[in-house]
Amino acid sequence: MTEMVYGALPVQSGEPILPKWWRTLDKWTMSSILMLFVIGLLLGLAASVPLAERNGFGNFHYVQRQMVFGLTALAAMIITSMMSPTLVRRLAVVGFICAFVALALLPVFGTDFGKGAVRWYSLGFASLQPSEFLKPGFIVVAAWMIAASQQINGPPGTLMSFGLCMTVVLMLVMQPDFGQACLVLFGWGVMYFVAGAPMLLLVAMAVVVVLGGILAYNSSEHFARRIDGFLNPEIDPTTQMGYATNAIREGGLFGVGVGEGQVKWSLPDAHTDFIIAVAAEEYGLVLVVILILLYATVVARSLFRLMRERDTFIRLAGTGLVCTFGVQAMINMGVAVRLLPAKGMTLPFVSYGGSSLIAGGIAVGMLLAFSRSRPQGEIADYLNGRGRG
């Protein structure tokens, strides 16, 4: 507990890998992620039963699958968090290339599972969503490019990363997957801002995003339908948004009781996109506040540790990863309470889903690797370009 409050102890030279990893790890972030996963399993016990019955499986079929996915994600998170920043960067480059190719081949080999957007590969025993794995890889690769552009005689990395960002965003919009496209664009924008982007340019980018939204509204029936539903002051009680809103209202402060909620029988996505509605109905505002505090702990702790990091690449990559993580959680909860239009986005480590869980585990593992306590060296070494770890 002392280390969790006052920070990790200095790393001793020649220290074995596991003690060194544990000594330098941000244990508050790790503990928060583990608690989110446990809460996700608890909610899955309630939310996934109706779906299992409709599909002819046992009551806890999806909870068991979630356990397998979750343990795989936690293993990936721990292994990745033990890596050095250089090794994480190499892993991200390889992962990004693979996910990018998989994303490009979706129109040929992908499927929509009847949801109107080709986002998945059907593997028979499971499905794979490349965009989930693309996000952490892209953020680390883009951070590497932006950091390289700040070196003396460095490449035009910022421009290259922007071009890569626009390519990924256009590919996601064509699926269409506007939610993931917004997350990718947001992640790049945060890193560009932290790297010292001119405010005028950021305003210009915001204007471009607004114009892009107007274009999407006029050209995509899928996008326009969701915006119209969000702007409509009347909520149709037979829609997903209507069911979720009513469930949150019924839950009140302490909920209607464990297993007593009804929204899971009406919402087809109660175990994924609208899992927060199940939490609010059965456990009330209390559990929702706990979830918000856990996400806030991950974001605040990580940003605080990254503020002390002198390596530009580590600071940018870590900031991009944790801000994307936090915004995804905020969007999911914001949609459920109708603060945002429907996006079809999971709640990290709580919603059911193999791709989102495992990709989230890798992303948080990268974040933990970047936010580990490490000697920062003398500032003169960094000014002279000798301080990279």
In the predicted structure, residue 388 carries a pLDDT above the cut 50: no
| Highest averaged pLDDT of the listed ranges 294-303, 367-376, 380-389 | 294-303
Q: How many C-beta atoms surround the C-beta of residue 113 within 10 A? A: 12
Mind listing the pLDDT tens digit for each residue in 311-344?
Answer: 999 999 999 999 999 999 999 999 888 888 877 7
Per-residue pLDDT for 387 more than 50?
Answer: no
Residue 76 has pLDDT above 70, yes or no: yes
Highest mean pLDDT: which range of 41-50, 62-71, 269-278: 62-71
Instruction: Report the mean per-residue pLDDT for the chain.
Output: 86
pTM to 2 decimals? Answer: 0.89
Q: Which among 94, 96, 91 is positioned nearest to 131, based on CA atoms?
A: 96
313 close to 141: Cβ distance less than 8 angstroms:
no
Q: For residue range 121-167, what is the model confidence (pLDDT) as tens digits?
A: 988 878 899 999 999 999 999 999 999 999 888 899 999 999 999 99
Q: Is the pLDDT of residue 105 over 60?
A: yes
What dihedral angle (degrees, nearest 10) is formed by the CA atoms of 259, 261, 264, 267? Answer: -170
Alpha helix (H) residue ranges in the chain? 2-6, 17-24, 27-47, 49-54, 61-81, 85-104, 106-109, 130-149, 157-173, 178-194, 199-219, 221-231, 240-251, 275-307, 312-336, 354-371, 379-383
> Is the confidence at residue 370, as pLDDT, over 90?
yes
Q: CA angle, corner 73, sides to 68 and 79, nearest 5?
A: 130
Place of tokens 């909860």: 333
**CA dihedral sign of residues 137, 300, 180, 54:** positive
CB distance 334 to 241 below 8 Å:
no
For the chain, percent of residues with pLDDT exceeding 70: 92
Q: What is the pLDDT of residues 246-299, one digit of tens each?
A: 888 888 888 888 877 888 887 777 788 889 989 999 999 999 999 999 999 999
Mean pLDDT comparison of 48-62, 81-95, 217-231, highest-scoring range: 81-95
pLDDT at 148: 94
Residue type, 158: T
Distance CA 249, CA 252 (A): 6
Q: Identify the residue with better confidence: 319 or 376.
A: 319
Least confident window among 116-125, 174-183, 294-303: 116-125
Strand, coil or helix: 111: strand
On the question of pLDDT at 5 being above 80, the answer is no
Averaged pLDDT for residues 61-82: 94
Is the model more confident about 384 or about 187?
187
CB count, 10 Å around CB of 6? 8
User: Does residue 224 surpass a pLDDT of 60?
Assistant: yes
Tokens of 372: 């580990």
Mean pLDDT score, 88-116: 91
85 pLDDT more than 70: yes
pLDDT given at position 378: 45
CA distance 282 to 259: 7
The pLDDT, as a whole number, for residue 68 is 94
DSSP 265: G
Indicate if the pLDDT at residue 11 is higher than 60. no
**Residue corresponding to tokens 């892009």:** 212
pLDDT at position 51:
82
Per-residue pLDDT at 385 exceeds 70: no
- Range name among 35-39, 69-73, 283-287, 371-375 with the lowest pLDDT average: 371-375
